[in-house]
C-alpha cells in the first residue's frame, strides 16, 4: 500500500531544545509505522533561544526535511539588550514592576506590531514556496503546529488556495495563553488575535489539542472536529547508578517569573528552620532556564545554601536528573488560564519513577493525570499545611531509602500510542 504524504509545518525542530520540539520529533519518528510518510518544513535560519544539538541524533533516517529562510525581529532586539532578548525569547518575561524600559518597549512592540507573533513574516514566503512544492509532490494533507500560531496562517492560506486537507495542532491555547497578558496588547491587537483565531478554527478540517480544557474552550468557538492528543513519553536508555544521597527536590525545565509558588518556598524554609536533619539533607535543584525573580525569591526565604542552579542541559542529561532526584517539582501559575496547560515534561517525570510534587490551579488537567497515574501529589497554592505534611512525609520515607513512585496506566501516554491516534485522524481524512 502506498504511504500517504503529510507535510508538517513547524518552527521548532532540532537543534532546537526545549519541550516544543519533542512532540513532532516523536510523531515523525513513528508515523511511517502507520503507513504515513511525514515531510517536515521548518526555517533554515531559525533564532532558537535554546539549543540542544543532541536531538539531531533523534531525527529518523530517510525523513525529508525542507526549509526556507525566516526573518525574525528577535535578531534586532538582541542589539538593544542581549540579556532581555534571550530572556523574553525564551518565554521568561519579568514581572511588570521589574521590567526595564527596554523590556517594556520590546514587549509592546512584540505584542502590537507582530500579530499573532514574531514569526508572522514567514507566512507569505512559506505559502508561495509550499504551494509549488505541494502541487509537484502530491501531498495529501498538511499539518500546522503552534505556537508560534502564525504557522496556522500558513495552513489557512494553503487551505484556501489549494483546498487541501488541513489539521491544526495547538500545543497551547491561542488568545487565552497566559503570556498574552504580559504583551501590553492594545485593543486593535486583541481584536486581531480573536479574528485570526476564529478564522483558523472555523476553516481547518480537524483540530488537535493537548488538553481537555483547551478542547472545551475551542468547542465554544468552532464546530470543527476536535481531538485531544496529549504530549507523552518515549522509551529511553538513560541509566543511573544510584539516586542522590541528598534529599534532592528538582525542577527541570523553564521556570517563568509567574511560576513562583511562595507557599512552597515558605514550606521548605520552615522545614529547614525546624528540622536539622532535613536542613542537612535538603537540596533544591533548578535545571533549565529560570527567571532571576524566582531565584531572588528563593534566596529571600533563606534557602541560598540549599540552592543548586545548573542551567540548561541536553535532553538525556535532563532525564538523568529526573531519575537521580528524590522528588520532582511541577509548578504552574495559579490562574484559570493555566488549567489547560500540561507541560511536556510531566510525562517524562511520570516514567522516571520519581515522585512528583505539583503546585497549580484547582481542577487542572495536570491534577487529573497525576492523580489517575499515581505518580505524585498535587497541591493548590492555598494548601500550605497539606503541602508541608506531604514534603515531611516524603523526607521520613527518604531516611529509609531512595524514594520511588508506583505509576499505573502510563502506556496510553507512550509516543507510539499517541502517534497511532494521530494516524487514525489522518487516515479518516483520506477516506
* Residue-wise pLDDT tens digits, 107-158: 766 666 777 888 999 999 999 999 999 999 999 899 999 999 999 999 999 9
Asked if 237 and 198 count as a contact pair (C-beta separation under 8 A), the reply is: no
In which order are the strands placed within the sheet that holds 356-359? 307-311, 282-287, 247-252, 327-331, 356-359, 376-379
Nearest in space to 376 (alpha carbons), one of 325, 426, 312, 328:
328
- Whether the CB-CB separation of 269 and 306 falls below 8 Å is answered with no
Is the separation of the CB atoms in 130 and 419 below 8 Å? no
Q: In Å, what is the CA distance from 238 to each residue of 30, 101, 324, 351?
A: 20, 44, 11, 12
Stretch 382-395: mean pLDDT: 98
Domains located in the chain, CATH noted? 4-71+116-231+414-430 (3.40.50.2000), 74-113 (no CATH), 247-398 (3.40.50.2000)
Residue 88 DSSP SS3: helix
Q: What is the pLDDT of residues 121-134, one digit of tens each?
A: 999 999 999 999 99
Q: What is the DSSP string of 171-239?
A: SS-STT-GGGGGTT--HHHHHHHHHHHHHHHHH-SEEEESSHHHHHHHHTT--S-EEE----B------
End-to-end CA distance of the chain: 14
Strands 206-209 and 376-379: unpaired
202-213 pLDDT, tens digit each: 999 999 999 999
Give the mean model confidence (pLDDT) for residues 413-429: 96
Residue 216 is placed in which grid cell?
472545551
Q: Band of the pLDDT at 84, cuts 50, 70, 90?
A: very low
Q: For position 189, what pLDDT does the model report?
A: 81
> Any long-range contacts for 320-324 (C-beta under 8 Å, 24+ apart)?
320/238, 320/240, 321/250, 321/252, 321/285, 321/287, 322/250, 322/252, 322/348, 322/349, 322/352, 322/354, 323/238, 323/240, 323/243, 323/352, 323/353, 323/354, 324/240, 324/242, 324/243, 324/244, 324/248
pLDDT tens track for 216-241: 999 999 999 999 999 999 988 888 99
Please report, for the chain, how many H helices and E strands are present, in that order: 16, 13
Which SS3 state, helix, strand or coil, does residue 66 take?
strand
pLDDT(80) > 60: no
In contact, 41 and 10? CB cutoff 8 Å: yes
3-state secondary structure of 92: coil
Under 8 Å between Cβ of 253 and 19: yes
Strand runs labelled E in 319-382: 327-331, 356-359, 376-379
Question: Do residues 417 and 398 touch, judged by C-beta distance below 8 A?
Answer: no
Average pLDDT, the chain: 90
Strands 165-170 and 141-146, by their bridges, are parallel
Rounded Cα–Cα distance for residues 65 and 415 (Å): 21
Amino acid at each position: 500500500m502506498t504511504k500517504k504524504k503529510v507535510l508538517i509545518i513547524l518552527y521548532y525542530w532540532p537543534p532546537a531544545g526545549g519541550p516544543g520540539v519533542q512532540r513532532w520529533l516523536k510523531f515523525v519518528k513513528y508515523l511511517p509505522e502507520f503507513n504515513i510518510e511525514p515531510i517536515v518544513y521548518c526555517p533554515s535560519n531559525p533564532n532558537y533561544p535554546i539549543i540542544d544539538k543532541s536531538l539531531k541524533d533523534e531525527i529518523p533516517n530517510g525523513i525529508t526535511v525542507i526549509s526556507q529562510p525566516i526573518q525574525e525581529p528577535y535578531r534586532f532586539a538582541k542589539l538593544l539588550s542581549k540579556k532581555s532578548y534571550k530572556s523574553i525569547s525564551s518565554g521568561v518575561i519579568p514581572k511588570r514592576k521589574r521590567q526595564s524600559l527596554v523590556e517594556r518597549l520590546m514587549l509592546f512592540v512584540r505584542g502590537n506590531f507582530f500579530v499573532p507573533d514574531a514569526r508572522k513574516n514567514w507566512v507569505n514566503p512559506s505559502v508561495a514556496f509550499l504551494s509549488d512544492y505541494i502541487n509537484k509532490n502530491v501531498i495529501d494533507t498538511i499539518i500546522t503546529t503552534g505556537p508560534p500560531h502564525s504557522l496556522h496562517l500558513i495552513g489557512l492560506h494553503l487551505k484556501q488556495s489549494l483546498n487541501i486537507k488541513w489539521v491544526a495542532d495547538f500545543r497551547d491555547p491561542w488568545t487565552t495563553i497566559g503570556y498574552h497578558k504580559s504583551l501590553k496588547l492594545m485593543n486593535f491587537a486583541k481584536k486581531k488575535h480573536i479574528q485570526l483565531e476564529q478564522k483558523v478554527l472555523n476553516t481547518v478540517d480537524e483540530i488537535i489539542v493537548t488538553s481537555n480544557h483547551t478542547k472545551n474552550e475551542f468547542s465554544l468557538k468552532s464546530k470543527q472536529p476536535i481531538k485531544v492528543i496529549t504530549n507523552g513519553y518515549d522509551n529511553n536508555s538513560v541509566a543511573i547508578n544510584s539516586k542522590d544521597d541528598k534529599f534532592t527536590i528538582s525542577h527541570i525545565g523553564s521556570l517563568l517569573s509567574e511560576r513562583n509558588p511562595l507557599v512552597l518556598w515558605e514550606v521548605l524554609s520552615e522545614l529547614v528552620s525546624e528540622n536539622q536533619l532535613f536542613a542537612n539533607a535538603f537540596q533544591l535543584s533548578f535545571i533549565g532556564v529560570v527567571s532571576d525573580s524566582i531565584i531572588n525569591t528563593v534566596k529571600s526565604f533563606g534557602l541560598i545554601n540549599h540552592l543548586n542552579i545548573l542551567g540548561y542541559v541536553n535532553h538525556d542529561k535532563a532525564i538523568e536528573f529526573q531519575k537521580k532526584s528524590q522528588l520532582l517539582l511541577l509548578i504552574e501559575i495559579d490562574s484559570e488560564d493555566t488549567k489547560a496547560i500540561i507541560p511536556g515534561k510531566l510525562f517524562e517525570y511520570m516514567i522516571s519513577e520519581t515522585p512528583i510534587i505539583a503546585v497549580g490551579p484547582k481542577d487542572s488537567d495536570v491534577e487529573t493525570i497525576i492523580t489517575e497515574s499515581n505518580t505524585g501529589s498535587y497541591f493548590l497554592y492555598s494548601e500550605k499545611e497539606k503541602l508541608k505534611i506531604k514534603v515531611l512525609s516524603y523526607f521520613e520515607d527518604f531516611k529509609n531509602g531512595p524514594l520511588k513512585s508506583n505509576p499505573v496506566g502510563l502506556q496510553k501516554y507512550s509516543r507510539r500510542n499517541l502517534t497511532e491516534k494521530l494516524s487514525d485522524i489522518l487516515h479518516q481524512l483520506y477516506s
